[in-house]
């Protein structure tokens, strides 16, 4: 059992978006939220604890890393733009993911 004072562990996931058109950060976040809501429901979305830290990296709860990778791979369209999202690297440290 965790101590009440212990911090939640996190993982950073870097990814690339392959698209013929420019995709903006707010569009990416909205698309991830919608796909997670569709796949996991409201409770699952809240348990992910994800935050988009840049256009190609996000932070997620360490127990939900594999679910987030699955959600990223399921996204095929962002605002009527055909996209392909490839996960590049996961780490507990943001600086290692940004390299």
Q: What is the pLDDT of residue 40?
A: 92
With respect to residue 59, please indicate whether it lies within any of the assigned structural domains: yes
Q: What is the pLDDT of residue 8?
A: 80
pTM score of the predicted model: 0.88
Which position has the token pair 């699952």? Answer: 44
DSSP codes joined into one string, 44-85: HHHHH--EEEETTEEEEEGGGHHHHHHHHHH--EETTEEEEE
With respect to residue 1, please indicate whether it lies within any of the assigned structural domains: no
Task: Of 41, 50, 35, 11, give the one whose Cα is nearest residue 85.
Answer: 35
Domain ranges, residue 60: 10-90
Per-residue pLDDT tens digits for 8-66: 889 999 999 999 999 999 999 999 999 999 999 999 999 998 999 988 999 999 999 99
With respect to residue 99, please indicate whether it lies within any of the assigned structural domains: no
Q: Report yes or no: 44 and 36 within 8 Å, Cβ to Cβ.
A: yes
């Amino acid at each position: 059992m965790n101590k009440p004072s212990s911090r939640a562990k996190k993982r950073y996931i870097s990814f690339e978006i392959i698209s013929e058109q420019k995709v903006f950060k707010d569009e990416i976040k909205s698309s991830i939220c919608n796909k997670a809501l569709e796949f996991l429901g409201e409770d699952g979305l809240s348990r992910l604890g994800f935050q988009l830290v840049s256009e190609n990296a996000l932070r997620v709860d360490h127990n939900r890393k594999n679910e987030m990778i699955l959600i990223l791979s399921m996204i095929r369209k962002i605002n009527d733009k055909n996209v392909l999202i490839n996960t590049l690297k996961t780490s507990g440290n943001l600086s290692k993911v940004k390299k």
